[in-house]
Structure 1
Amino acid sequence: MGDLTLHGSVSPDSLKEVDQFDGQEMSAAEKARLEQIVWRKLDRWVLPIATIFYLLSFLDRSNIANARVAGMQTSLKMSNYQYSIALTMTYVPYIAAEFPSNLLLKYVGPRWMLPTMVTIWGLVATMQGVVKTYSGLLACRFFLGLMEGGLFPGLVLYLSFFYPRERLQIRVATFFASASLSGAFSGLLAAAITNIDGKGGRPGWAWIFILEGIFTFLFGFTCFFILPNSPATATFFSTKERHYVLARLKEDGAVSSDDKSDNFSWIEVLRCFKSLHVLMLTPVLFVLGVTLYGLAYFEPTIVAGLGYTGNKAQLMSAPPFVVAFVVSMITAVIADRYNCRGFMIIFFTFCNVVGFAMFYAAKSNHVRYGSLFLTITGCYCSAPPAITWVTNNSAPHVRRATSVAIAFIMTNAGGILATWLMGSLSPAPNYTKATLTNLIMSIASCVLACVNLAYLWRQNRLKAERRQLMTQADEPEGMGDESAWFVYKL
């Protein structure tokens, strides 16, 4: 990925490159035509692969919840405590892999690194269907987490190599919304697969792992041949289209011709831990991890506790995820068009507050089932703007890669808490402690999102004042997102 370099400042010359090629001015009509063509091509060639990658990732990680409802826990003689251990076992290597894999992505190249991860975890996911002991399941969950850990932050970073900042959230939301789609798809697919219970001497829950894992392996292997490495090497672009994309990214501050700004530096890594806008979002992302993964792993069990059993529980677990998918796509378009990441996070964390309050206070199972539409939509729709917010406002490349990795480490640390909070620490069907904890944390994350929004707005105002007092040449090199010419997205 060495042909792309990322930083936060915009060279004055780069602003001219969008309007001309080979020294010739480009007409407004030609510019408008290219603007339509290039993003449409990327949406056809890059975005679907990223979306399917993440859908398979979430499906292969969370289908253990469907397998549990289908009889896995009884078959392997697991207690609720052991089930929580199995979920936690996934997240320890998952978190450990995120930071190094994000830094390696550029140097290994996404064309090789991303399909390799998908192919290997597809094999591991398949092996879950042949285990006969609890210890065998634990071993599979460990290697599943190790291989999947770098995917989500890697995909966010990968897409930031192709799309300008104002076009990024709808793309992140598209592949992240596949997580909510996988929640719906997983329930429907599990209901169908369990009908082949006993085939080949395997129970229905085992076939959930086997069939879904084999598909992941085959898709990952195919992507070695079709995944583009970067805009500069994408074969589906003409020369003019390739130059236009690179010029647009340079104008946006995503791409630079200065290789020095992209060299690995521990100083840039440390600067991430001093960036207030990153630090204020880490608790928000932690809470999102608790709610999102808690509902992903336990929603079928929650639905079963509301009076639905067997295949009906699998089918009734799907509608809240379908609604979350649709709402996520609609609001991502709005967030990109009006640059309102912070407002989206505030709105959807408030939806979480209302949903958890309903589940806690209601006695009716119908009302509690209805609350799932608010909580699942709230957490699945607030995650894309939160992740995009971190990505948009971090530069140069090493700082951006580190910030994205920190974001996902916090999210998945929340996933570890979720496996215990909604597992052995808060028994079904009321999940009283878990619901109260999620309610309090959702209120806190809503407040922090408001504070971060106010902070970024103030920083942009201060940067505007600095730009009036100096030229870009007066500013020290390597400022990244601290540059007066780097405008934070709100």
Structure 2
Amino acid sequence: MALDEKFSNSKTSEEVSDSKGVEFTLNDEKKVLVTTEIESIASTLDSQLDKNPFLDPVVAEHYREVYEKSKYECRGVFDPHFEWEPEEEKRLVRKLDIRVAFSACLMFASLQIDRGNLSQAVTDNMLNDLNLTTNNYNTGNTIFLVAFLLAELPSQIISKALGPDVFIPIQICTWSIIAMSQGALKGKTSFYVTRALIGAVEGGFIADLVLWLSYFYTSKELPIRLSWFWTTLSTVSISISLAAFGILRLRGVSNLEGWRWLFIIEGAITLLVGILSFYLMVPSAVQTKNWMHPKGWFTEREQKIVVNRVLRDDPSKGDMHNRQPLTPRMIWKSLSDYDLFPLYIIGILAYAPTATLGAYQTLNLRQLGFSTFNTNLLTIPGDFIHIVLLLIITWVSERVNDRALICLVLPIYSVPLVGVLAFWKGTMKDVWGTWAVTTLVLGGPYIHAILVAWVSRNAYSIRSRSVASAVYNMAVQLGSIYAKNIYRQDDKPLYRRGNSQLFALSLTMFPIIIGTKFYYIYRNKQKDNIWNKMTTEQREDYIRNTKDEGNKRLDFRFTH
């Protein structure tokens, strides 16, 4: 034998039999070589299975049955053995970035314009024109957020039944018309009503759009695209701050105040985006041909690449079809998924400082003595810092494959700055110092893109992902509700009590984020203990017959 010849000079040997009962001799050196080769082969197989779990025929057959049962719209191009070149995938991802990610950013811009221009409107004496107080302004913001929060889950239910490609354009067009109607506000009642209507229509939009993005991107690609998503938020904030300078100067034209023109003009712009979004969105990668897209987006080969790379990354993305409604049982199972609760808690608490300071930034700058024009310009540096830090931390989180530790950057950054606002005696007296600290807080590391992708990844089923994305956004809105009521009339102008509360909330993020990481490590170890004790036959039987779903499956591991 070749191995015998190679190691003929070795001293120690041992007789063994192969699977057919034929005896042959292995010495110590040969045993080391064989063991190394076996380990190498096993490592290669594990690596291949990580990239393509469907190479295991049991797994492939199980999910083929799942996709057929759910009538998954892309099941026709599912192919466990289909291969493609890395360069092909790179070109295709670039196409997706233009067709999908850019479109999502444009639609998200329309959301931010109509929900964010209120802060520009108040710099033009909107509150005085409507005889509103600071507390009325707080109430209006609270009504908006409560309506936004309450609409999250119903919006997901409607969107899942109609499809995001149908429901999202309807949402944008509807809220744009309501936003334009704010040009006719008369007082407190009409202010409250329009705030409620805009919040109710916009609620669920973000979760709907994230679900649509997940149809085209892998879990590793999604956070970066979501960082572009929220970069759009800051870019829009800069743009509308600059636009507000020109639009607010229309005060007096047709006997209308500048802030009325702001609502009318910007609402009309987002209405155009809403109409365009009917063209920009498609149901899925295999449903891109229609009267608006006669040639479709992809070739047949590109369709197979899009679908199979997403399924190999997350096989659960085919367990429902894109027009399948959520049943009450599905909703309840998703709502009671305790493994996602730690991420919801982070969502409630993480953004309190920026939500509070963001809502009052323009009012406080006017209070400091800045003009309407300078106030709008001075909001821009914070948005710029926000963009830079958001892109950096989201990229780093995927690069090092860690979410919790990267999220700790937020409290490390914000605690000392909020502490300055809470305890510095020069607050509101040192005009430029106060502006600088506030700007740095608002520009702080924004972990929202990381959290949204984290929720999506740990949900591990379309059913749970749809509801969990909505619940996470509800948690964020709940945090915004209390955050935007922390500053009160009797606490003006230094807001010492309010800033002390923000400081305490920032401190709580340390144990919560660290605790979340340890919780997921613990849950993975629980699964490992059971899975590693199972034989190959038991594992195959589990994959075929288990009633466990989503992230409760023993062959799923939580990311952290």
The TM-score with structure 1 as length reference comes to: 0.90
1:171-211 Cα deviation digits (max 9, x unpaired): 11111222222332232221221122212221111111111
Asked whether 1:468 is paired with 2:529, we answer no
Match of 2:257 in 1: 203
Q: Secondary structure of 1:391's match?
A: helix
1:118 to 146, 164, 172: 172
Going from structure 1 to structure 2, the CA distance change for 1:238 and 1:108 (only over 3 Å counts) comes to same
Match of 2:49 in 1: none
Q: Which has the higher contact order (CA 8 A, sep 6+)?
A: 1
Q: Secondary structure of 2:195's match?
A: helix
Q: Matches of 1:255 and 1:240 in 2, distance apart?
A: 22
Q: Please say which of residues 464-473 and 184-193 is displaced more in the overlay.
A: 464-473
Equivalences for residues 391-402 of structure 1 within 5 A:
391-402=456-467
Going from structure 1 to structure 2, the CA distance change for 1:425 and 1:445 (only over 3 Å counts) comes to farther
Going from structure 1 to structure 2, the CA distance change for 1:228 and 1:259 (only over 3 Å counts) comes to closer
Q: Matches of 2:184 and 2:334 in 1, distance apart?
A: 43
Going from structure 1 to structure 2, the CA distance change for 1:472 and 1:346 (only over 3 Å counts) comes to farther
Match of 2:406 in 1: 344
Match of 1:334 in 2: 396
Match of 1:370 in 2: 436
Match of 2:353 in 1: 291
Match of 2:313 in 1: 252
Q: Matches of 1:291 and 1:153 in 2, distance apart?
A: 23
Equivalences for residues 71-220 of structure 1 within 5 A:
71-220=125-274
Question: Contact 2:348–2:476 (CA<8 Å) still a contact in 1?
Answer: yes
Asked whether 1:483 is paired with 2:553, we answer yes
Pairwise CA distance, 1:339: 2.1
Match of 1:227 in 2: 281
Gaps spanning 5+ residues in structure 2: where? Answer: 1-51, 65-76, 289-295
Asked whether 1:303 is paired with 2:365, we answer yes
Question: Contact 1:290–1:416 (CA<8 Å) still a contact in 2?
Answer: no
Question: Contact 2:124–2:258 (CA<8 Å) still a contact in 1?
Answer: yes
Pairwise CA distance, 1:457: 2.3
Please identify the structure whose Cα radius of gyration is greater: 2
Pairwise CA distance, 1:26: 6.0
Pairwise CA distance, 1:354: 2.1
Q: Please say which of residues 456-465 and 98-107 is displaced more in the overlay.
A: 456-465
Pairwise CA distance, 1:298: 1.4
Question: Contact 2:394–2:450 (CA<8 Å) still a contact in 1?
Answer: yes
Gaps spanning 5+ residues in structure 1: where? Answer: 1-8
Match of 1:242 in 2: 303
Going from structure 1 to structure 2, the CA distance change for 1:178 and 1:426 (only over 3 Å counts) comes to farther
Pairwise CA distance, 1:472: 4.5
Question: Contact 1:358–1:368 (CA<8 Å) still a contact in 2?
Answer: no
Q: Matches of 2:316 and 2:306 in 1, distance apart?
A: 10
1:248-287 Cα deviation digits (max 9, x unpaired): 1211225455559977354443444444442122222112
Going from structure 1 to structure 2, the CA distance change for 1:459 and 1:215 (only over 3 Å counts) comes to same
Pairwise CA distance, 1:213: 0.6
1:335-365 Cα deviation digits (max 9, x unpaired): 2232222122211132221221122233133
2:453 to 368, 375, 388: 388
2:519 to 455, 471, 486: 455
Asked whether 1:324 is paired with 2:386, we answer yes
Q: Which amino acid aligns with 1:56?
A: S
Question: Contact 1:342–1:385 (CA<8 Å) still a contact in 2?
Answer: no
Pairwise CA distance, 1:104: 2.6
Q: Matches of 2:262 and 2:161 in 1, distance apart?
A: 36
Match of 1:4 in 2: none
Q: Which amino acid aligns with 2:512?
A: L
Q: Matches of 1:306 and 1:345 in 2, distance apart?
A: 33
Going from structure 1 to structure 2, the CA distance change for 1:289 and 1:331 (only over 3 Å counts) comes to closer
Question: Contact 1:342–1:450 (CA<8 Å) still a contact in 2?
Answer: yes
Going from structure 1 to structure 2, the CA distance change for 1:195 and 1:390 (only over 3 Å counts) comes to same
